[in-house]
Amino acid sequence: MTTLTLIFALPLLAAVLLAFIPRNFAVVMRLVALVTTFITMLLAVKMFWNFDCAAADNDGYKFVATIPWLGSHALGIVCRLGVDGLNVGLVLMGAIVAFAAACCSAEIKSREKEFYILLLVMTGGILGAFASLDLFFFYFFHELALVPTFIMIGVWGRGEKRNFAAFQITLYLSIGALLTLVGLIDLYLQVPAEIRTFDIPSLTRFFVEHPMALASQSFIFPLLLFGFGVLVSLWPFHSWAPLGYGSAPTATAMLHAGVLKKFGLYGLLRVVIPFMPQSAQHWMPILAWLSLGNILYVGWVAMKQKNLNLLIGNSSVAHMGMIFLGIATLNLVGVTGAVVIMIAHGFLAALTFGLSGYIHSQTGTLEMSELGGLAKKMRFVGVAFVMAAMAGCGLPGFLNFVGEATVFFGAWARPGLRLVTVLAVWGALIVGAVYMLRAVRATLHGPLPEKWGRLPDAVLWRKLPYAVLLASLFLFGFAPKLLTDKIKPVTQQIVDMANAQEIATQAATVPSPVTGVSTNGTKPAPGGVKESGK
């Protein structure tokens, strides 16, 4: 078994193992979950570390592994795993967040067995979805991770509205997943019957050589854009997210908001945009304006929240807007920035939900009117929360800033997006700061109500998940090249494919020898570099 196979299979195997442990051994369950996710995390770190020196296959994927007994050759389904610059960071982030989520699950006091099984299935599913090179398994693993979310919110959720929340999140995400499924199947049917395959690299090669018909593009693209969009809480399909996260148990919110949500964005980048460049060109300005709905509108909504978790949930939706904006630029700088925010937001969302979960487990409430002055009693949690809030409003030093600044530079390079960018900068710098500081002011600062006089700070081992997440944010925030140098080649390729048509027309009008760009998009073409920069 290669590292990558282990990374995604370990949690699933551990889940099976847990099924055989009697339910009285709650400590053992917890231990198994912790050890498994810890090993997974170490493996992911090792893979990330070795990424640069690992051998790549023809399509640029590394650590490629096939699980022969999974899948169906008749339908062209093969369980093939592999990473390139785009998903290696996501796998690393997912593994780290999964470990943090397992650490934060101490608050679960009933039905531990089922909880940890679901948690591990979710972890395995997420990592499998990101690592999968096969469109079918890409979707299948996502569903595998998605279903536990619904159950966890319904069973272990909190708050009066948890049933409604579970209902809403199920409804939205199922519809989103359904739209995506239809789109993906239609995409699959675009390939002639004798060479039909779900293999992403093969599909990529095919669509580079035989661009999809415009009619099918204009049908499949919106399906996938909005299908994936719903999964990522694109405005105006976002209202499941804040309430869902607000009602979810801590670990679920961390994993879903942090990692699983990135699936849709990953799909957009990996499949939708490169396969259907003309439609992408057509839809991206619209996506940019929709992203403002996330950044500004949801930002305003976040300002008005009275419950800490709803505020954080809304802020997480608002951050998605920055990623959408980055994708909508369709140039190297912007798309790379979007990928950086995807990773940064994973750490950040897990951190904020983890911290609010800790506050909830100690105080039993997250109504901000009842909290206040907690920094006096919870030193560590207070400091970590302030850092998280600062990362949330894009403070340099944290990875989020790198991503946001890069997205701004990318978006500004598109003259058509100037106005959107101005509003987005306002949303990120001002609105973001307003609600984040409001949260800090309402929960940590101010006089301490008497009833919280005996709150304990996090003990050492409970500090661990927060420390790990913060350290990741800091490390990449200080040295963003660790990430961007890996991401760049892949985003370059995506951007080249998306702009292939434009480059070709440019080449046609200007008699310069930039031929072969549209037919051989896998190599960064000189014209592409220029285009992406402007």
Partner 1 sequence: MKLEALPWILLFLPLCAAGIITLFTLRSQKLSAGLSIGAIVSGFVLAIALIKSGGWEAREFSLNWLSIGNLNVDFGLRLDALSLMMLLIVTGVGSVIHIYSYGYMHEDEGFSRFFACLSLFTFSMLGIVLANNFLQLFIFWELVGVSSYLLIGFWFDKASAADASKKAFLTNRIGDFGFMLGILTVFAVVGSLNFAVIQEQFKANPALMGGSATLAGLLIFCGAMGKSAQFPLHVWLPDAMEGPTPVSALIHAATMVAAGVYMLCRVVFLFTPEALTVISWIGGFTALLAALIAVQQNDIKRILAYSTLSQLGYMVMAVGLGGAGAAMFHLTTHAFFKALLFLGAGSVIHAMHHEQDIWKMGALRKKMPVTFWTFLVGTLALCGVPPFSGFYSKDAILAQAWHAHNYPLFVIAVSVAVLTAFYMFRLFFVVWVGDVRSAEAGHAHESPGVMIWPLRALVVLALFGGVLGINEIFAAQFSAAEHAEASEHGLTLLQRIAEPFTNAPVAAGIGIIATLIGFLTARGLYATAKSDPLTSKLGWMSRAMANRFYFDEIYEATVIRIHDLAGTISNWIDSWIIEGLCIGVVRGGTDLTGRALRLVQTGNLQTYAFLFVLGVAVVLWLTLGK
Residue 533 found at the interface with partner 1 (CB under 8 A): yes
Residue 93 found at the interface with partner 1 (CB under 8 A): no
Choose, by CB under 8 A, the member of 297, 324, 347, 452 that binds partner 1: 297
Nearer to partner 1, 62 or 488 (CB): 488
At 82, phi and psi to the nearest 5?
A: -175, 160
Q: Shortest approach of partner 1 to residue 264 CB, angstroms?
A: 19
The tally of CA atoms less than 13 A away on the side-chain side of residue 172 is: 27
Element (H, E) at 399: helix 399-412
Choose, by CB under 8 A, the member of 225, 248, 251, 298 that binds partner 1: 298
Amino acid letter, 114: E
Residue 269 found at the interface with partner 1 (CB under 8 A): no
Element (H, E) at 422: helix 418-426
**Angstrom distance (rounded) from CA 41 to CA 95:** 5
Choose, by CB under 8 A, the member of 9, 35, 426, 501 that binds partner 1: 426
Q: Shortest approach of partner 1 to residue 129 CB, angstroms?
A: 26
Choose, by CB under 8 A, the member of 78, 333, 366, 368 that binds partner 1: 333
Residue 70 found at the interface with partner 1 (CB under 8 A): no
Q: Shortest approach of partner 1 to residue 336 CB, angstroms?
A: 5
Residue 373 found at the interface with partner 1 (CB under 8 A): yes
From the list 51-59, 135-143, 151-159, 417-425, the region that binds partner 1 by CB under 8 A is 417-425
Residue 224 found at the interface with partner 1 (CB under 8 A): no
Q: Which of residues 434-473 bind partner 1 (CB under 8 A)?
A: 434, 437-438, 440-441, 444-448
Q: In DSSP terms, which residues pair with 199 in a beta bridge?
A: 134
Q: Shortest approach of partner 1 to residue 300 CB, angstroms?
A: 4
Place of tokens 């709905």: 293
Kindly state the tokens that stand for 156. 């272990």
Element (H, E) at 78: strand 77-83
Distance of CA 376 to the CA centre of its chain: 34
Nearer to partner 1, 109 or 379 (CB): 379
Q: Shortest approach of partner 1 to residue 15 CB, angstroms?
A: 31
Amino acid letter, 389: A
Kindly state the tokens that stand for 147. 């279903």
Residue 332 found at the interface with partner 1 (CB under 8 A): yes
Question: CB of 527 within 8 A of CB of 503?
Answer: yes
Q: Shortest approach of partner 1 to residue 516 CB, angstroms?
A: 21
Nearer to partner 1, 23 or 379 (CB): 379
Q: Which of residues 487-516 bind partner 1 (CB under 8 A)?
A: 488
Residue 430 found at the interface with partner 1 (CB under 8 A): yes
Choose, by CB under 8 A, the member of 171, 178, 214, 471 that binds partner 1: 171
Choose, by CB under 8 A, the member of 225, 349, 413, 517 that binds partner 1: 413
Residue 375 found at the interface with partner 1 (CB under 8 A): yes
Residue 529 found at the interface with partner 1 (CB under 8 A): yes
Residue 405 found at the interface with partner 1 (CB under 8 A): yes
Residue 219 found at the interface with partner 1 (CB under 8 A): no
Choose, by CB under 8 A, the member of 5, 239, 501, 506 that binds partner 1: 239
Choose, by CB under 8 A, the member of 220, 388, 431, 498 that binds partner 1: 431
Choose, by CB under 8 A, the member of 189, 213, 236, 516 that binds partner 1: 236
From the list 56-64, 181-189, 195-203, 392-400, the region that binds partner 1 by CB under 8 A is 392-400
Going by C-beta distance under 8 Å and a sequence separation of 6 or more, which residues neighbour residue 411? 288, 325, 326, 328, 329, 334, 417, 420, 421, 424
Nearer to partner 1, 66 or 239 (CB): 239
Q: Which of 303, 423, 443, 433 is nearest to 373 (CA)?
A: 443
CA angle 231, 236, 239 (to 5 degrees): 65
At 223, phi and psi to the nearest 5?
A: -55, -50
Element (H, E) at 64: strand 62-72
Question: CB of 275 within 8 A of CB of 126?
Answer: no
**Angstrom distance (rounded) from CA 274 to CA 335:** 12
Residue 184 found at the interface with partner 1 (CB under 8 A): no
**Angstrom distance (rounded) from CA 314 to CA 331:** 28
Nearer to partner 1, 11 or 293 (CB): 293
Question: CB of 487 within 8 A of CB of 456?
Answer: no
Residue 423 found at the interface with partner 1 (CB under 8 A): no
Place of tokens 């490169």: 274
Q: Shortest approach of partner 1 to residue 181 CB, angstroms?
A: 19
Choose, by CB under 8 A, the member of 11, 258, 321, 480 that binds partner 1: 480
Going by C-beta distance under 8 Å and a sequence separation of 6 or more, which residues neighbour residue 335? 269, 326, 327, 329, 410, 491, 494, 495
CA angle 334, 338, 341 (to 5 degrees): 135
Residue 31: count other Cβ atoms within 10 Å of its Cβ: 12
Place of tokens 């990424």: 51
Going by C-beta distance under 8 Å and a sequence separation of 6 or more, which residues neighbour residue 450? none
Q: How many helices (H) and strands (E) does the chain have?
A: 24, 2
Kindly state the tokens that stand for 411. 């978006």
Total binding residues toward partner 1, as defined by CB under 8 A: 63
From the list 3-11, 100-108, 322-330, 389-397, the region that binds partner 1 by CB under 8 A is 389-397
Residue 303 found at the interface with partner 1 (CB under 8 A): yes
- Which residues of this chain interact with partner 1, rule CB under 8 A? 164, 167-168, 171, 236, 239, 243, 297-298, 300-301, 303-305, 331-333, 336-337, 373, 375-376, 383, 386, 390, 393, 395-397, 401-402, 405-406, 408-410, 412-413, 421-422, 425-426, 429-431, 433-434, 437-438, 440-441, 444-448, 480-481, 484, 488, 529, 532-533
